[in-house]
Amino acid sequence: MYQEWRQAVQNKVPAPAWNATLSAIKFVDYGHSVLSIGVPSQVQSNQINNRHLPLLEQELRTIVGPQGSIRITLDDGFDSQVAVAAPAAPTTPVVTLTPPTPTVGRGQSLDPRMTFETFVIGGSNRMAKAAAESAAERPGREYNPLFIFGKSGLGKTHLLHAIGNYVQRHWPEKEVLYVTTETFLNDFIRSVREQSQIALHERYRSVDVLLIDDIQFMIPRGEG
């Protein structure tokens, strides 16, 4: 029954939605017309509840009858080597001083090839991708700030570019700034030398979406 239901759902949803969220579903239990499924994170549980639950239950009822229903649980058995942290956003101070002429860098260009559709999903980065998609779909309201960390090669930079590309595609009026930590630190040093710290502050706090890559390099040596 479960495999029949899973295949029916996969046939009904777009491939990006299946790959990003629903493909991670695992069978947990079935009894009394209730199918229990496991997902790796609360993010994916929320996405399924908000976007896909009616379809999932509709396909289940086609197989088991009108009493069929879905129960979603968190499955601790998933591999999760890329972790996501979303601390509370700090309050933004009001600056009223007139800054000197800024010389802050404009940041690097986003790679248009790095999108959510081209991201290679694995057990180690599935939760991070789901969180990044949520942040991109509701910029400034979901996962603000979002901090993704993990080993090299698991797709952290790709997800940063994917967030920026998604926002620019859906909200062209929003300003997206992608920089490496090296660029940010160079801007900071330059602002101190030129006494333009306020310009630095306003530049980085005025954008709609700020993406900083390799932020671990801000940690002093010996403390990482």
How high is the pLDDT of residue 90?
Answer: 45
Q: Which residues contact 74 (CB under 8 A, 6 or more apart)?
A: 38, 39, 40, 41, 42, 45
Domain 2-74 has CATH 2.60.210.10: no
143 torsion bin: left (phi>0), alpha (psi -120 to 50), beta (else): left
Domain range list for the chain: 2-74, 83-218
Q: For domain 83-218, which CATH number applies: 3.40.50.170, 3.40.50.300, 2.60.120.200, 3.40.50.720?
A: 3.40.50.300
Going residue by residue through the chain, which has 224 residues, state the pLDDT in tens, using 9 for 90 and above: 889 989 998 888 877 667 767 888 888 888 888 999 988 777 778 778 877 888 899 999 999 998 999 998 887 554 444 444 444 444 443 333 333 333 334 456 889 999 999 998 887 788 889 999 999 998 888 888 899 888 877 889 999 999 999 999 998 889 999 998 888 888 888 888 888 888 888 888 888 999 999 887 777 655 55
The structure tokens 């300003």 sit at 175
